[in-house]
Amino acid sequence: MAGVTTRRQAATAQQEKNATTVNGNAAPVMEQENAPRDILDDLDDDEPAENIFLFYPNLIGYARIILAVASLYYMPIHPRTCTLLYSISCLLDALDGIAARAYNQSTRFGAVLDMVTDRCTTSCLLTFLASAFPRWAILFQLLISLDLASHYMHMYATLALGGSNTSHKNVDKSRSFLLNLYYTNKNVLFIACFLNEAFFVGLYLLSFSSPLLSPSLLETVPPSTAAAIHQGAQVNSSILSMIFANPYSAGALEMARANKMDSFWPWVITGVSFPVMAFKQVVNVIQLVKASRWLAEGDIEARREARRIAKRRQE
């Protein structure tokens, strides 16, 4: 009995030693791959089984995905419905972090789910903008590439060189003051992400309301074109049609034509959020450059170590 108690005490000490943060939240995570086998056996006996996929923050993440898919479903023709669904999905991004801290349910799966959802939803919106404003398509394509490349390289560098339990949000000031401020200050992070999305949402609304940006709004849709949209332009799956109202139905198309949008507020949204969007792109560039340099430093050190090992073997 004393031996069991000793091993449990050792397990507790090992768990406290390996406590770290994931996704910027103070949730303990044990490095199980480095723990002794007998410690893990005792933990399996004492600790209740947890289903990470059903943690509250991750359930919120699934809700974000459903709302994002629904917004894409309405995106081609119903800007108000799409904007509402897309905005709720983005706002829930803050709620999952609050839930993770409140219920002590921060996980690496949740952190990756959150980042992947952000990248995918923004990329889908920018893809639509590239088709809505073909003259600026290359700019939107470059923004998608920068967003994906900077976040992928930053996370890969963090995991490869900082350790598997290191959060991508743990950026030391010595490496980058701006990245440290961006990732460690929750207010800065929320405002930057929210207004960055708001800028692109504003552009999306302007594609339906501003003849200055979309001269095609001044053109009358021929009856044959309207009929083609109604009869053969549906690209949405039958599963989504069963869940959500068909945006290409006769009634929905008539409502979309009747609900003409005013461009005043979309212009206000884009004007106010533009500086923050530009700041977010600067952060992405810095993040890409810093991650590249960090990986290069790791490669140099690994090559030096390899040469040292080869030299010892020769001796």
Return the top range by mean pLDDT from 73-82, 272-281, 299-308: 272-281
**Could you tell me the pLDDT band of residue 30, with boundaries at 50, 70 and 90?**
very low
With a cut of 60, say whether residue 235 has pLDDT above it.
no
Catalytic residues: 118
pLDDT at 258: 57
pLDDT at 271: 97
Provide the whole-model pTM: 0.75
pLDDT in tens, 110-154: 989 999 999 999 999 999 999 999 999 999 999 999 999 999 999
pLDDT at 261: 76
**Could you tell me the pLDDT band of residue 315, with boundaries at 50, 70 and 90?**
confident
% of the chain beyond a pLDDT of 90: 49
Q: Please, what are the domains in the chain? A: 2-46 (no CATH), 52-212+227-314 (1.20.120)
Token pair 């910027």: residue: 24
pLDDT at 40: 45
Q: Is pLDDT larger for residue 100 or for residue 49?
A: 100
**Could you tell me if 158 and 168 are in contact, meaning their C-beta atoms sit under 8 angstroms apart?**
yes
With a cut of 50, say whether residue 255 has pLDDT above it.
yes
What's the mean pLDDT in 55-68?
96
Number of H helices, E strands in the chain: 12, 0
The three-state secondary structure class of 25 is strand
pLDDT at 62: 97
- Selection from 256, 125, 279 nearest residue 202 by Cα: 125
pLDDT at 142: 97
pLDDT in tens, 157-185: 888 877 666 677 778 777 788 888 898 88
- Selection from 25, 15, 12 nearest residue 105 by Cα: 25
- Selection from 155, 165, 161 nearest residue 114 by Cα: 155
Of 34-43, 71-80, 116-125, 282-291, least confident by mean pLDDT is 34-43
